[in-house]
Chains A and B, each alone.
Chain A
Amino acid sequence: MISLHGTVEVGSFSREFSIDVGNEIVGMFGANGSGKTSVLRTIAGLCPLGNGELKLGDDLVDAPAKNMFVLPEMRNIGMVFQDHSLFPFMTAVDNAAFPLLMRGVKRTAAVKMAAEMLEQFGVAHVAQHMAPTLSGGQSQRVAIVRALIGSPSAVLLDEPLSAIDEASREGVRNHIREHLVRLGVSAIVVSHDRAELDHLCTRIENYTR
């Protein structure tokens, strides 16, 4: 459950925004630069709300009026960033295993789980490669694995398929959908590609300026 009703403020950008996401995959469609990423960053806790309220599940995580703000590391969110943001000093599998390590899973078990999931997304063969050496498509898949692996309570995906080649897109999309459904979580997908959202999401919100 994600429930946001308030003002999203990032730097000089400011916009009233409302969204409620249940156990579903909601797509946010809009042109680039319209502030969709800012909404995701606010939900993740990287930027506080200007005013209003943000709830994750039953918990209030951001309410400026009540002086309440829960740090991002406490929110249990999985996120695929627009530029992937994989740690450049780690291998693909170490990157993917990171959320598990943060949750206290022992290293060997975490790496094993990460390797298995990388296999599902077709990047097992680059598991030991350093992140900067991965191609755009490979690193995006690793980023997706990293976002889904930790049993998050909400998943935010920012242009998750932009670097995946045309032929593989459907496969990756199906995997994502499969995982999200299995996890049973709220998910928001941001994209400028309408067709992609149609295939992936259960509901689409138009987000235009």
Chain B
Amino acid sequence: MNSVSSRTPRFVRIGALLGVAFLALPIVGLLKRVAWSTLCRQLTDVATRDAMRISLYASVCATVLALVLGLPLAWCLARMQFSGRRFVRALVLLPMVLPPVVGGVALLGAYGKSNGLLGGLLNSLFGIQLTYSLWGVIIAETFVALPFLVLSLEGGLRSIDVKYEESAAVMGATSFTRFMRVTLPLLKPSLVAGLMLAWARALGEFGATITFAGNIQGRTQTAPLAVYTMLESNPEGAYALSFLLVAISVGLLVGLRDRWIGGSSQ
């Protein structure tokens, strides 16, 4: 046992305890507010069921879309030399620093039916309306979740030692095979962590969703929107739904604990 590293200074331990308390107290406080006797009834309420259904479906779709758009982007940022790289990097980070409502307004400017750059065209040519639809929710959630995935993937790609791909090439693996059989497995920890962050961010999105996709119960009212709406009209329902969201998040984090911290740790 290394005597230098095994003795954590007291102030560090106290600081960590404070951090744990800071994070745990709100969760405990929330659990205290849940009316356990009516929990089942609240959770099976139509509005709550709709909200969970929409949230789960949209957040998963958004995560997949973020992967489809984000992986090539991360690859180019990590491995390609190109001019305008700083601009692309800033663009990728933008949704992370933009206030979500501003993001929603920006999305309206691009995909809104009335005077959106692309949205207007889509509407006049094909009669497609992205706002106030489930696709609107997915787009809003993808917009805010994409940066998390790209950053995680880019970091992962940079940290992969290129020697594994080289040895695979010498052994006859084409670039696609190398990607599937060597790069992806090596990328797995970053990929899983990135997907989890992106999914969590998508699930929790409020400002961009409500601005771009609106707040239509049964169609675009996601769980966060439902909680907010219910806070005034049905606080018990709001706490019940909040509890469900916390339970899902914790469940997922615990379930993936081993895999996403990487094989060698406990």
A160 at the interface (CB under 8 A from B): no
Report the bound CA distance from A132 to B262 in whole Å: 13
- A73, A87, A103, A150: the one within 8 Å of B169 (CB): A73
Check A76–B172 contact: CB distance below 8 A: yes
Minimum C-beta distance from A118 to chain B (A) = 16
**Hey, which chain B residues are within 8 Å of A98, CB to CB?**
168, 171, 173
Q: Mark A20-53, 1 if CB is under 8 A from B, else 0.
A: 0000000000000000000000001110000000
**Hey, which chain A residues are within 8 Å of B166, CB to CB?**
46, 72, 85
Considering the complex, give the chain B residue whose CB is closest to the CB of A80: B167
Given known A-B contacts A83-B163, A85-B163, A85-B164, A150 and B170 have beta carbons under 8 A apart: no
Q: Which of A152-207 contact B (CB under 8 A)?
A: none
Check B170–A73 contact: CB distance below 8 A: yes
Interface centre among A44, A81, A98, A132 (most CB of B within 10 A): A98
Minimum C-beta distance from B54 to chain A (A) = 37
Report the bound CA distance from A150 to B188 in whole Å: 28
Check A87–B171 contact: CB distance below 8 A: no
Q: Which of B175-190 contact A (CB under 8 A)?
A: 177, 182, 185-186, 188
Task: Please classify the interface of chain B as helix (H, G, I), strand (E, B), loop, or mixed, using the class held by over half of its residues.
Answer: helix
Given known A-B contacts A87-B182, A89-B185, A89-B186, A102 and B172 have beta carbons under 8 A apart: yes
Considering the complex, give the chain A residue whose CB is closest to the CB of B163: A85
Check B163–A102 contact: CB distance below 8 A: no
Check A79–B167 contact: CB distance below 8 A: yes
**Hey, which chain A residues are within 8 Å of B171, CB to CB?**
73, 78, 98-99, 102, 146, 150
B174 at the interface (CB under 8 A from A): yes
Report the bound CA distance from A97 to B169 in whole Å: 15
Q: Which of A49-95 contact B (CB under 8 A)?
A: 71-73, 75-79, 81, 83, 85, 87-89
Q: Mark A88-122, 1 if CB is under 8 A from B, else 0.
A: 11000000001100110000000000000000000
**Hey, which chain A residues are within 8 Å of B185, CB to CB?**
87, 89
Check A81–B167 contact: CB distance below 8 A: yes
Given known A-B contacts A87-B182, A89-B186, A102 and B164 have beta carbons under 8 A apart: no
Considering the complex, give the chain A residue whose CB is closest to the CB of B166: A46
Interface centre among A76, A78, A87 (most CB of B within 10 A): A87
Minimum C-beta distance from A160 to chain B (A) = 14
Check B172–A99 contact: CB distance below 8 A: yes
Check A73–B164 contact: CB distance below 8 A: no
Report the bound CA distance from A5 to B186 in whole Å: 37
Q: Which of B142-170 contact A (CB under 8 A)?
A: 163-164, 166-170
Minimum C-beta distance from B259 to chain A (A) = 12
Report the bound CA distance from A2 to B48 in whole Å: 71
Given known A-B contacts A81-B163, A85-B164, A44 and B170 have beta carbons under 8 A apart: yes
Check B172–A46 contact: CB distance below 8 A: no
Considering the complex, give the chain A residue whose CB is closest to the CB of B174: A73
**Hey, which chain B residues are within 8 Å of A46, CB to CB?**
166, 169-170
Interface centre among B166, B168, B170, B263 (most CB of A within 10 A): B170
Minimum C-beta distance from A105 to chain B (A) = 11
Considering the complex, give the chain B residue whose CB is closest to the CB of A143: B167
Minimum C-beta distance from B198 to chain A (A) = 23
**Hey, which chain B residues are within 8 Å of A45, CB to CB?**
169-170
Report the bound CA distance from A195 to B188 in whole Å: 44
Report the bound CA distance from A4 to B163 in whole Å: 23
Check A77–B170 contact: CB distance below 8 A: yes
Considering the complex, give the chain A residue whose CB is closest to the CB of B161: A85
Minimum C-beta distance from A46 to chain B (A) = 5
Report the bound CA distance from A71 to B186 in whole Å: 23
Minimum C-beta distance from A31 to chain B (A) = 22
Report the bound CA distance from A88 to B185 in whole Å: 9
Q: List 15 A-B contacts (CB under 8 A).
A: A46-B169, A73-B171, A73-B173, A73-B174, A78-B170, A79-B170, A85-B167, A87-B164, A87-B167, A87-B182, A98-B168, A98-B171, A102-B172, A103-B172, A150-B172
B positions within 8 Å CB-CB of A: 163-164, 166-174, 177, 182, 185-186, 188, 263-264
**10 shortest interchain CB distances as A-B pairs:** A102-B172, A85-B167, A99-B171, A72-B169, A89-B185, A85-B163, A73-B169, A79-B170, A44-B170, A72-B170
